[in-house]
Amino acid sequence: MRKVYLDNNATTRTRPEVVEAMLPFYTESYGNASSVHAFGRVARTAVDRARAQVASLLGASSPEEVIFTSGGTESDNFALKGVLEALKNKGNHIITSAIEHPAVLNTCKYLEKNGARVTYIGVDRYGVVNVEELEKAITPQTILISVMFANNEVGTIEPVEAIAKIAKEKNVYFHTDAVQAFGKIPFDVKSLGIDLVAVSGHKIYGPKGIGAIYIKKGTKITPQALGGHHEMSKRAGTENVPGIVGFGLAAELAGKGMSEERKKLTDLRDYFYKGLTEKIKDVNLNGHPTNRLPNTLNVGFKYLEGESIVLNLDMEGVAASTGSACTSGSLEPSHVLTAMGVDPADTQGSLRFSMGRETTKEDIDYVLGVTPPIIQRLRDMSPLYEKGK
């Protein structure tokens, strides 16, 4: 049976050259990067190189603005908690959007329980944040705006530049979760004027368990992991040298191949959607029709329940998802689609297909071959389909 992986927004296959680059730091070059002897110096050199590689793809002014973490979730937590603690004498108000990743939303809920005030900005039917509503929500107590760069479920790219401009004018820090955008679409944190950015290694064909937070020079933030003087005294804990090395190389490779990969994935995405709508009735696109990630296609199959489709596709060797991997297992409808105003019944039948660098036209043709019979079989068993005919 053919195997087709279309869940690259959840995680990606680590590139062979990345694995190869990591291996020596598990074996002969196993020193602690904080040690001053030769073993440690080799590790430190490797960490410094990786920091420069990640900083380059971000467009940072200096490698020292990149702090390595365990992943995007830790980076988001660090940004929100660290800024709130550092600026507690100025204010306690945070502005975010209703469609953020759980790493941001659940952190905001935690902070609310501990005295912070959080405003959740709505989005339009395409998942685009209402910039006017956001600007009006700013008060003298506002210390941080946190809006993701691109949504992980529907792929919609947010008006980050406009939000960054407003934040700067109002003297408010701006943080963006760029985990899904990093390495897929070009952006430059320096020219955009962003203060804090969360990124992750395993979304760009690097290893799991490694990420980074960009902290613009001069940004006030309180460290959350306390201990030694690692990561410029901003994040204590022995550096994950193999992971950092792998992340750095993955970032460099992503930057080199970005233009070509963007075009390829955009073409595949649009070809896939065209094929689905030609072969299956009542298929709706979720997210912005054009201003979205090149690899992401979120569609709703009316009258159905998404998990049943995912399980049936899995039996045909196709991996897809009903949304964020971080919310899988929840019976609640997607908070992203709900915020976009998608009919509650239709949110249940929505799937996310996220392509990657190894996805081929033959893969998509295979999925277009096995999906229509699955949808028809499930609809024939659905009482909603009978009513909707």
Region of 287 on the Ramachandran plot (φ > 0 left; ψ -120 to 50 alpha; else beta): left
Q: Please list the active-site residues.
A: 326
- Give the integer Cα–Cα distance in Å for 9 and 202: 9
Indicate the DSSP class of residue 13: P
Tell me the C-alpha distance between 296 and 266, whole Å.
9
Report how far residue 85's alpha carbon sits from residue 194's, in angstroms, rounded to the nearest whole number.
19
Q: How many other C-beta atoms lie within 10 A of the C-beta of residue 315?
A: 10
End-to-end CA distance of the chain: 34
Minimal CA–CA distance to 43: which of 248, 223, 209? 248
- DSSP code, position 6: -
Asked if 236 contacts 230 with a C-beta cutoff of 8 angstroms, the reply is yes
Please enumerate in sequence order all residues whose Cβ is within 8 A of that of 281, keeping only pairs 6 or more positions apart, or say none.
none
Decide the pairing of beta strands 173-177 and 196-200: parallel
* Long-range interactions of 382-385: CB distance < 8 A, separation 24+: 382/303, 382/304, 384/302, 384/303, 384/304, 384/345, 385/302, 385/303, 385/304
**Which segments of the chain does DSSP mark as H helices, in order?**
16-22, 38-58, 72-86, 102-113, 131-137, 160-169, 189-192, 230-233, 241-279, 306-315, 335-339, 344-347, 361-380, 383-388
Could you tell me if 158 and 293 are in contact, meaning their C-beta atoms sit under 8 angstroms apart?
no
